[in-house]
Structure 1
Amino acid sequence: MLTLIAFLVTLGILIAVHEYGHFQVARWCNVKVLRFSLGFGKPIFSRRFGADNTEFVISALPLGGYVKMLDERELPTPGAVSEHDLTRAFNRQSVWKRIAIVAAGPAANLLLAIVLYWVLFMQGVPGMRPVLGDVPAQTAAAQAGLKAHDLIIAVAGDSVSTWTDVRWKLLQEAIKSPAVTVKVKDDSLREHETELKLDDIEKEDFESDFLEKLGLVPYRPAMPARLGEILPDGAAANAGLQTGDEILAVNDKPITEWEEFVTLVREKPEQPLTLRLKRGERELDAVVIPQAVDEHGKRIGRIGAAYQVDQGLLEKLSVTVRYDPLQSFSRAVDKTWETSVFSIKMLARMVTGEASWKGVSGPVTIASYAGQSAHIGWKSFVGFLALISISLGVLNLLPVPVLDGGHLLYYTIEIFKGSPVSEAAMEVGQRIGLAILALLMTVAFYNDITRFITG
């Protein structure tokens, strides 16, 4: 239910903002708007407002929207427009006004991303400090001389505060350079720079955690199997387990880390597990029967207990990055610009075969990410919303007929040509554009299905 709600909220906000951009600029240019629609297909809600009696509609299929403006070319008879409204027809506007109206939709999505990032940077973005764990031998990080407990403080000359920053900077550098300068601070608080090679990264790696391939493994402190929150009516609660209990053994097998315990529980749905645990200064036994649940089509066990986090260690490894309003706005603009440019570069690399088409996502993946980010918290969801808003803005600016960018291409040709593009040429363009969109949708749905099957 949370995933469905988050998905509908995401679509509703992004589509409404995009179409409102077209709508508002059309009004500023004195173009008459006949309909403002969120969604396609059969209307499920309709009301008329304003001096122009504009119809505002919510339609059944929520995967898009449109703003229908008065246009003589779309009327059944050329003389159907009254003399009073002739000057307000879209097709009678100057090419510069038409460009402004069409560009306003993608621009609104990019402005939304700036506003969302601005709010996030002012509120503070939580993350984990980029402290290295054990660096695997023969990796690029080992060859660069990086060691366990090194704190990464800069990549390519730009300061970084979290692992998210590190990944983003390396992702940008990986598509333009075979190596990058990394600055670290060691255990003795001494700073030094080194060159990290990126030429081992292949196009498939962009869709996975390529940091691990480079040898940049986050520091993970020892996590004893100590229970935190116990869910009411869960298997752990029914077995009498309590917060703070430390699991020493399961079925006489010694347990030293939390992940070992989780793995054993997942593998034994509805099978009794004899636990040896430590409670305070005492050791005692308990029997727990993991409840069976379905996860991506696989039957696993759960006991309804969480890990007890060491707050002191968590505070040491975590950080909240926060800026004042002016700095936040500047960083929001930079983040939106960098993400937009990166998206275009990745699209270009997909076309040339340098990047995998697995990065193209459809509604199923977007819905999944919307639900996951909403579950984590509002900051995560706002960040996701900003990213998708940028993607929508960039996608619509592509010079593909039927998209906003395709219309902008026509108008650019008109400026140099001195007259509008012919109807015949536009019709051919429409067919090409629809074919390209159909191909993209096919790839997106294929990737969605593949991710769903493989989990």
Structure 2
Amino acid sequence: MDLLTELVAFVVAIGVLVVVHEYGHYSVARLCGVKVLRFSIGFGRPLLQWVSKKSGTEWTISALPLGGYVKMLDEREFPDTISPDDLPHAFNRQSVGKRIAIVAAGPVANFILAIALFAVVYASGVSEPAAVVAAPPVQSVAARAGFQGGETVLSVNDGNGNDAAVRSWADLRWKLLSAAFDHRRVALSARDGAGTYAFPLDLSQLASKDLDDDFMSKLGFDPGGGTLRVAGVEAGSAAQQAGLQKGDRLRAIDGRPVDSASTFIAYVKAHAGKPVQLQILRGGDAQDGGKDNAQASAPANAQALTITVTPAVQRDEETGEEVGRIGAALSAQAPSVEVRYAPLESARLGAYRTWDIGVYSLKMFGRMLTGEASLKNLSGPVTIADYAGKSAKLGPSAFLSFLALVSISLGVLNLLPIPVLDGGHLLYYAVEAVTGKVVSDRWQMVLQRAGLACIVALSAIALFNDLARLIHF
């Protein structure tokens, strides 16, 4: 049943994304007066075919559903068979601006789809982490502002007397990101057990390189207020030697409250080879998966313990630095809120999130090319099918969010300046627009082969990663 769910979800996801992408090309081509010969979903032997009486386009559903294409009239392919009346409607006869618009329309359609899907999710209601701040690292922007951990952010003041309510962690992130882009100083209104206070933040000195996916963590902000438990302990690890057990609830490390996995991990990494003390709760309600937060009083039937563990020294694969590791898997349960946005606000948030993910995808691909990030981050159809099935089981919102994420990835991938992809054709047309000369057939042939080799290599790596995840080697 799981395999069937994954297969159906995968076919639906790929089908929707391909149709939207190719329809982007098709619709703009028609607007530019180009004759479209075939619109195909899938490759290989046609399963269904019909011809539009109005446009003469042949619509096809083919046997292999991993892609699709739009075939346009082009006299370079049919030099002797095109009638003089059809020549003005050939793709190659169009201006460079029209050709750029037609080629770019596919990826743009994927981005528009992602914005629409995210907007639907936001408008229908989504469960998001509450805007509760975890204990920040010492000397971080959040710590210097006065945050100690456990505060719930209520609003952001822009410095001109305008307060904007904060509904969730994602809402807080967008508001701070907007202020950072404008190099503004803001004040956060937040409450803890003693009252409500103002916390001034100076975001005017942040560089553009700081405004990436780790923006909040760099400022010292991580979601808090949740429950942090040990989900597993590796055999022979520092955690096992110290006596840490699965189900133990982590309360503090060296006296510092912990309610965030990232805060705990960062502290352990920074103390390689140095003993640290863990304050934990064991037994009773400490293992029941309840919704009590990190600051709640200990259950009467739970045992409070202090364990000393010395993180093992390990070299980080990405940075090459020595970091600490105790060999324990963590399970975090953060408080959440149900958030529903108005239609216009949903569209705006959808556009922001699409942009954010798109930029992050480009940066990640660049880091993989330079060796700063592992090629293991590449995923293929097996992993996509797996996540499609899992997200479908979680409900419509999760599946739509997954679909939006893959749509963004497809759009970004197609814009890469690799021949055989849309980005490669856009590169040709950009050169033509600048120089006034069409890239020669000889150079196009050489670049097409190089691009094809690149795509085959990337596909092979992605498939290898899929198999490695599947059979754990």
> Which one of the candidate residues 9, 14, 24 is aligned to 2:12?
9
Q: Distance in 1 between matches of 2:44 and 2:57?
A: 18
Partner of 2:226: 220
Mapped contact 2:20–2:106 kept (Cα < 8 A): yes
CA 1:254–1:349 in 2, change beyond 3 Å: closer, same or farther? closer
Q: Distance in 2 between matches of 1:360 and 1:354?
A: 14
Mapped contact 2:189–2:196 kept (Cα < 8 A): no
Number of aligned residue pairs: give it: 358
Q: Distance in 1 between matches of 2:411 and 2:223?
A: 34
SS in 1 for 2:65: strand
> Is the counterpart of residue 377 in structure 1 residue 395 in structure 2?
yes
Partner of 2:64: 61
Q: C-alpha deviations, 1:228-266, integer Å up to 9, x for none?
A: xxxxxxxxxxxxxxxxxxxxxxxxx964344589xxxxx
Q: Distance in 1 between matches of 2:450 and 2:129?
A: 46
Mapped contact 1:129–1:163 kept (Cα < 8 A): yes
Matches within 5 A, 1:125-204: 125-132=126-133, 135=135, 146-151=147-152, 161-163=167-169, 185-187=190-192, 188-192=195-199
Q: Distance in 2 between matches of 1:358 and 1:21?
A: 31
> Scaled by the length of structure 1, what TM-score is found?
0.67
> Is the counterpart of residue 341 in structure 1 residue 356 in structure 2?
no
Deviates more, 1:13-22 or 1:339-348: 339-348
SS in 1 for 2:76: helix
Q: C-alpha deviations, 1:295-344, integer Å up to 9, x for none?
A: xxxxxxxxxxxxxxxxxx99xx4322232222222222222222222222
CA 1:409–1:150 in 2, change beyond 3 Å: closer, same or farther? same
SS in 1 for 2:196: coil
Matched letter for residue 380 of structure 1: A
CA 1:325–1:43 in 2, change beyond 3 Å: closer, same or farther? same
Mapped contact 1:39–1:62 kept (Cα < 8 A): yes
Q: Distance in 1 between matches of 2:166 and 2:363?
A: 22
Partner of 2:232: none
Q: Distance in 2 between matches of 1:127 and 1:349?
A: 29
Matched letter for residue 436 of structure 1: C
CA 1:67–1:50 in 2, change beyond 3 Å: closer, same or farther? same
Matches within 5 A, 1:239-254: none
Q: Distance in 2 between matches of 1:432 and 1:218?
A: 48
- CA RMSD in angstroms comes to 4.1
Partner of 2:471: 453
Deviation at 1:412, TM superposition (A): 0.9
Deviation at 1:448, TM superposition (A): 1.7
CA 1:84–1:194 in 2, change beyond 3 Å: closer, same or farther? closer
Partner of 1:43: 46
> Is the counterpart of residue 422 in structure 1 residue 440 in structure 2?
yes
Deviation at 1:46, TM superposition (A): 1.6
Matched letter for residue 192 of structure 1: F
SS in 2 for 1:447: helix
Q: Distance in 2 between matches of 1:447 and 1:181?
A: 44
Mapped contact 1:222–1:257 kept (Cα < 8 A): no
Q: Distance in 2 between matches of 1:60 and 1:182?
A: 58
Q: C-alpha deviations, 1:250-301, integer Å up to 9, x for none?
A: xxx964344589xxxxxxxxxxxxxxxxxxxxxxxxxxxxxxxxxxxxxxxx
> Scaled by the length of structure 2, what TM-score is found?
0.65
Deviates more, 1:430-439 or 1:137-146: 137-146
Q: Distance in 2 between matches of 1:362 and 1:181?
A: 43
Matches within 5 A, 1:282-431: 317-431=335-449
Deviation at 1:444, TM superposition (A): 1.4
Percent pairwise identity = 48
Mapped contact 1:132–1:149 kept (Cα < 8 A): yes
Partner of 1:266: none
Deviation at 1:136, TM superposition (A): 9.7
CA 1:435–1:5 in 2, change beyond 3 Å: closer, same or farther? same
CA 1:254–1:121 in 2, change beyond 3 Å: closer, same or farther? closer
Q: Distance in 1 between matches of 2:454 and 2:89?
A: 33
Matched letter for residue 399 of structure 1: P
Deviation at 1:162, TM superposition (A): 3.7
Matched letter for residue 5 of structure 1: V
Deviation at 1:407, TM superposition (A): 0.4
Deviation at 1:377, TM superposition (A): 1.3
Partner of 1:299: none
Deviates more, 1:355-364 or 1:12-21: 355-364
Matched letter for residue 400 of structure 2: V
Matched letter for residue 220 of structure 1: G
Deviation at 1:38, TM superposition (A): 0.8
Mapped contact 2:149–2:224 kept (Cα < 8 A): no
Mapped contact 1:139–1:215 kept (Cα < 8 A): no
SS in 2 for 1:79: coil
Deviation at 1:81, TM superposition (A): 1.0
Q: Can you give the 5+ residue segments of structure 2 that lack an aligned partner in the other structure?
A: 159-163, 204-212, 230-281, 291-332
Deviation at 1:396, TM superposition (A): 0.7
Deviation at 1:378, TM superposition (A): 0.8
SS in 1 for 2:417: coil
SS in 1 for 2:341: coil
Deviates more, 1:94-103 or 1:138-147: 138-147
Mapped contact 1:141–1:216 kept (Cα < 8 A): no
Deviation at 1:172, TM superposition (A): 12
Q: C-alpha deviations, 1:127-173, integer Å up to 9, x for none?
A: 1314356x599897997675442235689x99864455678999999
Q: Distance in 2 between matches of 1:346 and 1:364?
A: 21
CA 1:365–1:138 in 2, change beyond 3 Å: closer, same or farther? farther
Q: C-alpha deviations, 1:1-54, integer Å up to 9, x for none?
A: 222211111101110000001111111112111111111122222222233432
Partner of 1:92: 93
Q: Can you give the 5+ residue segments of structure 1 that lack an aligned partner in the other structure?
A: 197-205, 224-252, 262-312
SS in 1 for 2:438: coil
Q: Distance in 2 between matches of 1:378 and 1:370?
A: 11
Matched letter for residue 112 of structure 1: L
Mapped contact 1:172–1:342 kept (Cα < 8 A): no
Matched letter for residue 56 of structure 2: N
Q: Distance in 2 between matches of 1:170 and 1:386?
A: 24
